[in-house]
Chain A
């Protein structure tokens, strides 16, 4: 059952990702990206990472995708039936070759890694909101607080770069 689910979700994620990359219409590509994200959320569930699965849906499939769509609307990309020039095609081939090589490398890494380090059994409640939260608020307290400063810097950066007009005069 678990294995079947894994293959189903994995297949779904890969197919959706392929549709995203090959689709010429940006909005459709964005929609298939949402599908990819959702399938990935399913995979996280299989890994017992329940909170992460929920966050994947809330943050990625929800918030980040809104941003994607806004950017697409903002740019208003013309749908063009482009034909790749010779050199672009060459680059595409090279890119595919490199990606393939990385893939082979990754698979062999995973296959070759005989787990020298004994992997402890995951605790019964591993990955639940409770367990992750406990880690986050006790052991990872410092990174948690740093994250707030990071978000603040992001807010300031967004205002500075994206706000149309910033005046000192009308404060």
Chain B
């Protein structure tokens, strides 16, 4: 009898194990407890997220020591890049849980599964950030996507929600097919699925194999879909509009960042030799994503749809930084995604509070006069919108500043110009909401039917955390930059 062993380093996956245990715990609680415990599921999942966060941050191998832990036969990589992304994911998940609790109660939705699925999606994202091998990456992506399909259709009684789930599922599965085909072609041309081994093989045997280039193109399609980049963005507005508001917040932050995490790791670490091939492709996609996202957002009346297009545009900005690569490029990707998590979830927290039962109040006109009725909400919303528009002194401004300076430094001046023009354009639609809040009178009919916004303590905490994040990222960027610099993915 022979002993079979595998290089296992369990401590490398502690955060994921913890999250899995908590999601199992929630499912078991859901199975055995009485309905009166249902309010606790949210807190249980929050504890799980915090515990995982603690393990990510306070790992035995310190963050600043730049240790890279390989585990499970190189299938699992824990480097600062992965750690930082996990931080973003857990932050987004934690904020989402906070804004979800009251919402679930008002919409009379099931509690346990909701939080379990959110945790599953988070585990999937964390796997994507740490995967050092393409099959592991695929499984992480599937885990994330599958949970999101269900969450998008979670309000089963609403037609739009069903439609969102169905559309998302069909298009998403199609994109997953592209991912698998891409992986297969890369495996076929290099004989391995390990990202580092792919890089070694490509480096050794030269770059040009049509199969490899095709595989790369397929991966661009797949990641482009998951990160909602033009021309693979079609699903975004419908899904963001139809999904429950807290889920839209969740989807726009974590999964998008996860797609970028995997995208950057595969392309910068695995296929740097094909840089010539993908540079122009990404260039065009970045320009299109920024422009189309912003231009269509100009004419949206539904605020969830508007933020959907805005999230497309923001993915375009991140793509510019992605293209700039290098230390400055990748660290500005990380900085921007962190900022984006705060400002977007913050904005959606306000939307969740104002939308009312069944989400009827999600149009710009519903925000008229909010500044006088609910000054707190209006101030917070303005802050998040200013940050999304990139107006100082918010984190959004600093993030864009880093991105465009990285682009200029790496010689992508044309792209930087397009980006700056686009952010100027975007100011219009963000400010439109602010103008509606402060300078327009609420129409009397609306006022009468308007239910009071629901500000639960948890939601207010989420808004405060987001506002703190947005402001501190804008006012004291240096400490964040120091962390981000430590996390950039070396291009080797």
Residues of chain A with a CB closer than 8 A to B154's CB: 160
Q: Is the CB of B136 within 8 A of A146?
A: yes
Overall SS of chain B's interface? helix
Contact partner of A116 (CB less than 8 A), chosen from B76, B135, B209, is B209
Given A149-B120, A161-B156, A109-B214 contact (CB < 8 Å): yes
One of A9-17, A42-50, A71-79, A132-140 at the interface? A132-140
Contact partner of B210 (CB less than 8 A), chosen from A108, A141, A143, A146, is A108
Q: Is the CB of A146 within 8 A of B189?
A: no
Residue-wise, chain B 157-199 has the 8 Å CB interface mask toward A (1 for contact) of 0000000010000000000000000000100111100000000
Q: Does any Cβ of B come within 8 Å of A156's Cβ?
A: yes
Chain A's nearest CB lies how many Å from the CB of B275?
Answer: 19
Chain A's nearest CB lies how many Å from the CB of B98?
Answer: 22
Residues of chain A with a CB closer than 8 A to B147's CB: 153, 157
Q: Does any Cβ of A come within 8 Å of B357's Cβ?
A: no
Whole-angstrom CA separation of A143 from B183 in the bound complex: 15
Residues of chain A with a CB closer than 8 A to B238's CB: none
Residues of chain A with a CB closer than 8 A to B117's CB: 153, 156-157, 160
Q: Does any Cβ of A come within 8 Å of B279's Cβ?
A: no
Q: Is the CB of B110 within 8 A of A168?
A: yes
Q: Is the CB of A168 within 8 A of B38?
A: yes
Q: Does any Cβ of B come within 8 Å of A171's Cβ?
A: yes
Residues of chain A with a CB closer than 8 A to B34's CB: 171
Could you tell me which residues of chain A, from 150 to 164, have a CB within 8 Å of some CB in chain B? 150, 152-154, 156-157, 159-161
Q: Does any Cβ of A come within 8 Å of B359's Cβ?
A: no
Closest A-chain residue to B4, C-beta based? A138
Q: Is the CB of A117 within 8 A of B136?
A: no
Q: Is the CB of B146 within 8 A of A150?
A: yes
Q: Does any Cβ of B come within 8 Å of A113's Cβ?
A: yes
In this complex, the interface size class of chain B, counting residues with CB under 8 Å from chain A, is 35 or more
Q: Is the CB of B191 within 8 A of A105?
A: no
Q: Does any Cβ of B come within 8 Å of A123's Cβ?
A: no
Whole-angstrom CA separation of A153 from B149 in the bound complex: 11
Q: Does any Cβ of B come within 8 Å of A85's Cβ?
A: no
Whole-angstrom CA separation of A147 from B146 in the bound complex: 12
Overall SS of chain A's interface? helix
Q: Does any Cβ of A come within 8 Å of B127's Cβ?
A: yes
Residue-wise, chain A 21-57 has the 8 Å CB interface mask toward B (1 for contact) of 0000000000000000000000000000000000000
Residue-wise, chain B 122-137 has the 8 Å CB interface mask toward A (1 for contact) of 0100010000010110
Residue-wise, chain B 396-408 has the 8 Å CB interface mask toward A (1 for contact) of 0000000000000
Chain B's nearest CB lies how many Å from the CB of A44?
Answer: 14
Q: Does any Cβ of B come within 8 Å of A166's Cβ?
A: yes
Whole-angstrom CA separation of A105 from B217 in the bound complex: 13
Whole-angstrom CA separation of A110 from B215 in the bound complex: 12
Contact partner of A150 (CB less than 8 A), chosen from B5, B142, B189, is B142
In this complex, the interface size class of chain A, counting residues with CB under 8 Å from chain B, is 35 or more
Q: Does any Cβ of B come within 8 Å of A84's Cβ?
A: no
Whole-angstrom CA separation of A117 from B13 in the bound complex: 33
Whole-angstrom CA separation of A106 from B214 in the bound complex: 9
Residues of chain A with a CB closer than 8 A to B185's CB: 109
Q: Does any Cβ of B come within 8 Å of A112's Cβ?
A: yes
Chain A's nearest CB lies how many Å from the CB of B137?
Answer: 10
Closest B-chain residue to A142, C-beta based? B72
Residue-wise, chain B 370-412 has the 8 Å CB interface mask toward A (1 for contact) of 0000000000000000000000000000000000000000000
Q: Is the CB of A161 within 8 A of B150?
A: yes
Q: Is the CB of B135 within 8 A of A143?
A: yes
Residues of chain B with a CB closer than 8 A to A108's CB: 210
Q: Does any Cβ of A come within 8 Å of B201's Cβ?
A: yes
Whole-angstrom CA separation of A169 from B34 in the bound complex: 8
Chain B's nearest CB lies how many Å from the CB of A109?
Answer: 5
Closest A-chain residue to B130, C-beta based? A142
Q: Is the CB of A138 within 8 A of B120?
A: no
Whole-angstrom CA separation of A147 from B127 in the bound complex: 12
Given A117-B191, A139-B73, A150-B146, A160-B110 contact (CB < 8 Å): yes
Q: Does any Cβ of B come within 8 Å of A119's Cβ?
A: yes
Contact partner of A149 (CB less than 8 A), chosen from B8, B123, B214, is B123
Chain B's nearest CB lies how many Å from the CB of A21?
Answer: 17
Q: Is the CB of A157 within 8 A of B149?
A: yes
Q: Is the CB of A119 within 8 A of B191?
A: yes
Closest B-chain residue to A150, C-beta based? B143
Closest A-chain residue to B207, C-beta based? A116
Whole-angstrom CA separation of A146 from B19 in the bound complex: 13
Q: Is the CB of B116 within 8 A of A116?
A: no
Q: Does any Cβ of A come within 8 Å of B205's Cβ?
A: yes
Whole-angstrom CA separation of A168 from B205 in the bound complex: 60
Residue contacts A-B, CB under 8 angstroms, 15 given = A109-B185, A116-B209, A120-B191, A138-B4, A141-B72, A142-B72, A142-B76, A143-B135, A153-B120, A153-B150, A154-B146, A157-B146, A157-B149, A160-B113, A161-B165
User: Residues on A close to B: CB < 8 A?
Assistant: 105-106, 108-110, 112-113, 116-117, 119-120, 134, 137-143, 146-147, 149-150, 152-154, 156-157, 159-161, 166, 168-169, 171
The 8 closest A-B pairs by CB, nearest first: A157-B150, A168-B35, A142-B72, A153-B120, A116-B205, A146-B139, A109-B210, A113-B211
Having A171-B33, A171-B34, A171-B35, one finds 15 other A-B pairs with CB under 8 Å, namely: A105-B214, A112-B210, A116-B206, A117-B189, A117-B205, A140-B135, A146-B140, A146-B143, A147-B139, A153-B146, A160-B110, A160-B156, A161-B150, A161-B156, A161-B165
